Structure 1
Amino acid sequence: MTTRALLVTSSILGDNGQSNALATHFQQQAAARDGVAVTHRDVVANALPHLAIEELGAWQTPADERTTEQQALAAHSDELLAELRANDVLVLAVPMYNLGIPSQLKAWFDRVLRAGETFRYTENGPQGLIEGKRAIILAARGGQYAGTEFDSQTPHLKTMLGLMGISDVEVVFAEGLNMGDAHRDAALKEAFQAIDQLVEAL
């Protein structure tokens, strides 16, 4: 049985991005294993515009009543939703920009967090509609923030994933990457080892 993983990268630094280094290591380890297939979506290379009212309106219009323009707008989200549903594991390689996630990744979330598609509102609050999936967050940071009040990124990501119904979330931190070569190398080595263990368990 094949485990299908959707890898979403969001670094603006390309090959120089440390979160992309984590993503590349994940891909290499997955490729070396039988039974793991990885689909890669780079939301920087294939950037989405910020969500606008026209696109939101397209989602809220019945599919058979959409104009040609609305069909094209809705297709962005529909494609991402189909990709998400087709995979068993969601892997997010996330750099920290100004204590938050990249705006490109937020644009991706804005299109997969859709009422009626990945969650619904009930009298007891929102209910996730994505079942049986897990997520892995590969977090690269220049400083050390995990477990401190400055890490608003991790709870934000977990909350958005939880809204969809993905509550099984593992986080691999590579921190202090701008705090000297020795610190960076040690942090990356530890993160790579953690990734190895996660891939082995897929």
Structure 2
Amino acid sequence: MTNILRVESSIKGEASVSRKLTDRIIARLTAADPDATVTLRDLSTGVPHIDGAWMGAVFTPAGTRTPEQADRAAYSDALLAEVRAADTLVIALPVYNFGVPAPLKGWIDHLARKGETFQYTEAGPEGLLKGKRAIVALSSDGTKIGSEIDFASGYIRHMLGFFGITDVDFIAADQMVFGPEETLQKAEAQIDALAA
């Protein structure tokens, strides 16, 4: 049985193109594996920012945290547990102002914990979340994926790789302003061609 973690970050609700793409990706994956479980993490309502109190909490061993630290670390620990339990991550990536939405960046910040998702070795950093697959559904009005003004897809690929997730597929409904119907059809065809 496959565990799928679906991560949404668009603030557009039902009008979101990235959400339409993740709907289709989830439908494809669950059709291929009807026993798959899907956990939804919707970041669109906001993600608490990390700060000094958060750092003190998450880097204190769970058994020795104060009640305040335990409360502060609980959200971050829940996000980490969801990613650890997942075999496949389906991540919505709407491009806002050439980059990732703030809630998605916040999610990554909560996950970037030394000793949990990565470690430093003599050979350099090593990701600790190996053996997982990620499918990223990118949507944008004017930014072309992989272009010099795309600061979103490269960042997501880098951070996933930093965590040890190197099996990453991108589905792109990019530059929607130049032909929304054709662009969406192209992205849907990419989804239909995905290995499930």
Secondary structure in 2 matching 1:178: helix
Q: Which amino acid aligns with 2:187?
A: A
2:11 paired residue number: 12
Q: Which moved more, 1:35-44 or 1:123-132?
A: 35-44
Partner of 1:60 in structure 2? 59
Unaligned segments of structure 1, at least 5 residues: none
Within the alignment, does 1:189 sit opposite 2:185 as a pair?
yes
Q: Which residue number in structure 2 is paired with residue 38 of structure 1?
A: 38
1:18 shift after superposition: 1.0
Secondary structure of the structure 1 residue equivalent to 2:82: helix
Does the 8 Å contact 2:100/2:151 carry over to 1? no
Counterpart mapping for 1:89-128 below 5 A: 89-128=88-127
C-alpha distance in 1 between matches for 2:63 and 2:143: 50
Could you list the runs of 5+ residues in structure 2 that have no partner in the other structure? none
Cα distance, 1:31 vs. partner? 4.1
Measure the CA separation in 1 of the matches of 2:193 and 2:92.
17
SS in 2 for 1:157: helix
The match for 1:145 is 144
User: If the length of structure 1 is used for normalisation, what is the TM-score?
Assistant: 0.91
Alpha-carbon distance in structure 1 between the residues aligned to 2:61 and 2:26: 38
Q: How far does residue 196 in structure 1 lie from its aligned partner after superposition?
A: 2.2
Residues 30 and 37 of structure 1 are in contact (CA less than 8 Å); yes or no, is this contact kept in structure 2? no
How many residues in Structure 1 have an aligned counterpart in Structure 2? 195
Percent identity of equivalent pairs: 43
CA offset at residue 144 of structure 1? 4.1
**TM-score relative to the length of structure 2:** 0.94
Can you list the C-alpha shifts for 1:72-106, whole angstroms capped at 9, x where unaligned? 11111111111111110111111000100000001
Give me the CA root mean square deviation. 1.4
- Give the SS at the match of 1:193: helix
**Mapped partners of 1:160, 1:3: distance in 2:** 23
